[in-house]
A and B are shown apart, each in its own frame.
Chain A
Amino acid sequence: MSLTNENFNYRIKEFPRSVSILGWGLLALGIILIVVSFFIDRTRSSFNILISFMFLMSIGLGSLFLVALEYVAGAVWSTPIRRVSEFLSTILFIIPVLAVPLYFSMHEVFHWSHSELLRQDAVLAGKSPYLNVPFFIIRTLVCFAIWLLFYILIVRNSEKQDELKSQAITTRNIRSSAVFMPVFAITITLAAIDWMMSLEPHWFSTIFGVYYFAGTILAALASATIAVVLFIRKGYFTNITEDHLYSLGALLFAFVNFWAYIAFSQYLLIWYANLPEETTWFLLRWQGSWKIVSIALIVIHFIVPYFGLLSQPSKMNPRRLMFMSVWILFAHLFDLYWLIMPTFSRTGVTLGWMEFAFPIAAVGLVIVFFTLKAKNTNIIPIGDPKLQRGLDFRL
């Protein structure tokens, strides 16, 4: 299949109105429910907004990482579908906004932010040079700034290539992406420690950043796969074959395993050494009905996707892939719930309409951002020199 103008007239395209209606509808419904929930139980809402905040961060930041990864690794198969991840990374713009309500409810969410506690708690006092409100805000702002900077450096540049069709842009993007890699590693670790590990300020685990990273990539890959399958189904992508789908499926499968590996390593080492300062975190998640959630996490996040994506044909079958991607996206949300919520409700699971309201808004937000961005940008990077090779890609 060769490149013709007909094939590449992607700018003139109209998404069905139903998509944006769905997106705005979910967002509006979600926001209404969120506002109501804020009046009912402010603390619980704050914890829920933290979950959605991390969820959106996973998709946005993970997608930016996938884009950068393609440049650094020199991959070609993903070039025709790179725009999907680029669109998803636009969510990074909304994340700072979502952090604002969290700032106002810091005292409800972060135990360490009560500076008067430091006198009673020597351990927390020792950590206060790191865990204090001003430094926390500075770190957060720096992370946001860095991510947006690299969004502009990489994604904006890639969009410019549609017009300029210059190879130099690819070269420049490879360089920016290479620089982004270590920066990404540091900032995502800081984000994971600050926003999730510090919920239990006495607990610590060196692998925690890697754990969140594994989930992030899964969320980004799953969202990209959903969008790619939908685009194929609706005829926006005509040249994407099952070999491309296979690559996405294989990556999903690999990262499902990677997540399980990291999660198991963390659990085994803490379980085995049995040190009281570390086991508290898992014991909390083994208390009362949290036990069910912990066991369900293994099934939802590992066993089902593992067997769902194990065989070669299942990685190519769009229907299976679609189902597993939605499943994995849910699993990541469930993982975040398991990471964050026990701090709010220590004795047992809290699960009500509030826990569903926030993800509804988050999903709506992703759809809205995606459609807005996709409306005036090519959904295939037509200026990318690697595009033809990507379309010709076969296993």
Chain B
Amino acid sequence: MSVDYSKEFSVIEGRPTLAEVNDLIARPTETRPDRLYYIILTITVSMLLFGVVCLGFTFYYGIGEWGNNIPVGWGFGIVNFVFWVGIGHAGTLISAILFLLRQKWRNGIARFSEGMTIFAVMTAGLFPLIHVGRPWLAAYLFPYPNEHGVWVNFISPLVWDVFAVSTYLTVSLIFWYVGLIPDLANLRDRTTGKIKKLIYSVFSLGWRHSNRHWHHYEMVYLVLAGFATPLVLSVHTIVSFDFAVSVLPGWHSTIFPPYFVAGAVFSGFAMVQNVLIFVRKIFHYENIITIDTLEKMNKIMLLTGSMVGYSYAMEFFIAWYSGNPIEQFVFINRAFGPYAWAYWIMVTCNVISPQLFWFRKIRRTVPIMLIIGMFVNVGMWFERFVIVVTSLSRDFLPSSWHYFTPTWVDLGILTGSFGFFFTWLLLFIKTLPVVSIAEVKGVIEGAQVEHHIAEDSTAYRPRQQEDI
């Protein structure tokens, strides 16, 4: 491989003009969906409806329809919750952290992954509600002055979760919407339909691409990115606190916060990568979401996958090092006990499969990376399963040990959650631009001027010489 490091490569290939990019990205929102779209939508809605039926069973007959038992009181409900919240982390990572790191390749995929964040967090938010068994009592989760004179327990990590997930959903929505404003204005100026025009006009808030607006807009975007970055870390950190503040071996481990965050980003990237591969193919976005972009995503998956592997190793080592026999038993039990199958699925998918991304060829081959991404998603789901179920099913009292087996209702709700997520995603890709039009235009080759042209002869001074 020979690369010229002295030149910066555009993240958008093929030197398209601004108008071409605009047409390409806006096209899906301006054309009628084809038959393939309806077929896929039918599938996802069916999955969703199946999930709804299972939920009906759950509410009518109670949580007893699930595989949960004593001592495994946290089963699929929590596993799925953590899985979906994790998926939601890639979006904010791409849109906020990579923005702060000025990674231009993020511009092509940020909007889409922000959308995925919102849908994934919405999906995740369902599970705690389902798991309480009586979701219509959810208002008690919030601290409000009630006639019982009782407040929520602010020392409980489950209440932290309520705050974290609802804040995350709100801030993600705001971030997403702020990013959408210029594109909605763009669609407003393109559309010919009257109703469409009205909707776009209302939601674009009178945007007129004015530089005096861009100026504040960019500041707000920076501030939002600055807040979203620690927020995204905090959310999965707090999810990890749900486990780690307890005294249960296998849950109580100080590395849980960064380990959960790394795992969340890992699974989120895998999901984004998987879906993007289809989106870029179907909508012909190969020049915007380039193979280089996918390669960079794969590199991040390699990085976060290795971080997850580091955490597994660290947990195992410290379990031995701690000298605590119960701690040691839990980890031996994970790897060689009744759930060894889940453990080794997890290790294979999460630690071993992304190591293939060391090879440039694999990083750049679409079918292989698609398969690895799917492996990662499976593996990350099993990671949560292993954490939740193995630690609970064999706790301190051997007489109460119990093997957990999911019921068809459990599996149905899991299926339904995928249906819910993908239904939203499908509606999104046909109604709104899945790639940020303004942001992509800004990184097309030649879109920005050389800095010495822009630097005003009077405004710019090489300031480093003064002030010192």
Contact = CB atoms under 8 A, between A and B. Distances in A.
B408 interface: no
B93 to A, nearest CB: 14
B38 to A, nearest CB: 42
A385 interface: yes
Interface stretch (A36-44, A206-214, A357-365): A206-214
Contacts of A319: 467-468
Contacts of B1: 171
A241 B464 contact: yes
A250 B233 CA distance: 17
Interface stretch (A145-153, A259-267, A343-351): A259-267
Interface in A173-213: 178, 181-182, 185-186, 189, 202, 204-210
Interface string B291-330: 0000000000001001000110011001001111000000
Contacts, number: 117
Nearest to A77: B102
Nearest to B7: A389
Contacts of A204: 318, 321-322
B256 interface: yes
A171 B8 CA distance: 15
A123 interface: yes
A127 B318 contact: no
6 contacts: A167-B4, A170-B5, A202-B323, A204-B322, A269-B241, A394-B451
Contacts of B244: 269, 273
Nearest to B229: A254
Given A209-B314, A241-B463, A388-B6, A126 B255 contact: no
B271 to A, nearest CB: 23
Interface string B1-35: 11111111000000000000000000000000000
Nearest to A243: B451
A26 interface: no
Interface string B438-468: 0000000000000100000000001110011
B258 interface: yes
Contact of A385 (B5, B247, B254): B5
B153 to A, nearest CB: 13
Contacts of B324: 277
B3 A126 contact: no
B267 interface: no
Binding site of A, secondary structure by majority: helix, strand, loop or mixed? helix
A188 B311 CA distance: 14
Contacts of A392: 451
Contacts of A170: 5
B464 A273 contact: no
A142 interface: no
8 residue pairs, one from A and one from B, having the closest CB atoms: A206-B255, A385-B5, A385-B6, A272-B245, A123-B323, A265-B257, A207-B254, A394-B451
Interface residues of A, number: 57
Interface of B: 1-8, 100, 102, 230, 233, 237, 241, 244-247, 252-258, 303, 306, 310-311, 314-315, 318, 321-324, 358, 451, 462-464, 467-468
Contact of B252 (A127, A208, A269, A388): A269
A126 B462 CA distance: 62
A254 B468 CA distance: 24
A241 B6 contact: no
A280 interface: no
A266 B240 CA distance: 12
Interface of A: 76, 122-124, 126-127, 130, 167, 170-171, 178, 181-182, 185-186, 189, 202, 204-210, 229, 232-233, 237, 240-242, 245, 250, 257, 261-262, 265-266, 268-270, 272-275, 277, 317-319, 384-386, 388-389, 392, 394-395
Given A206-B254, A206-B315, A277 B322 contact: yes
A167 B5 contact: yes
A154 B256 CA distance: 33
A267 to B, nearest CB: 9
A130 B321 contact: yes
Contacts of B237: 261, 265
Contacts of A205: 254, 318
B3 A273 contact: no
Contacts of A273: 244-247, 252
Contacts of A266: 254
Nearest to A251: B101
Given A167-B2, A242-B464, 9 more contacts: A126-B323, A127-B321, A167-B6, A205-B254, A206-B253, A206-B254, A241-B462, A261-B230, A319-B467
Nearest to A124: B323
A265 B258 contact: yes
B258 A210 contact: yes
Most buried by A among B252, B322, B358: B322
Given A269-B241, A386-B5, A210 B252 contact: no
A274 B244 CA distance: 12
Contacts of A171: 1-3
A233 B463 CA distance: 11
Contacts of B451: 392, 394
A76 B103 CA distance: 12
Given A167-B5, A205-B318, A273-B246, A265 B254 contact: yes
Nearest to B237: A265
Contact of B464 (A76, A124, A318): A318
A126 B241 CA distance: 29
Contacts of A384: 5
Contacts of A209: 314
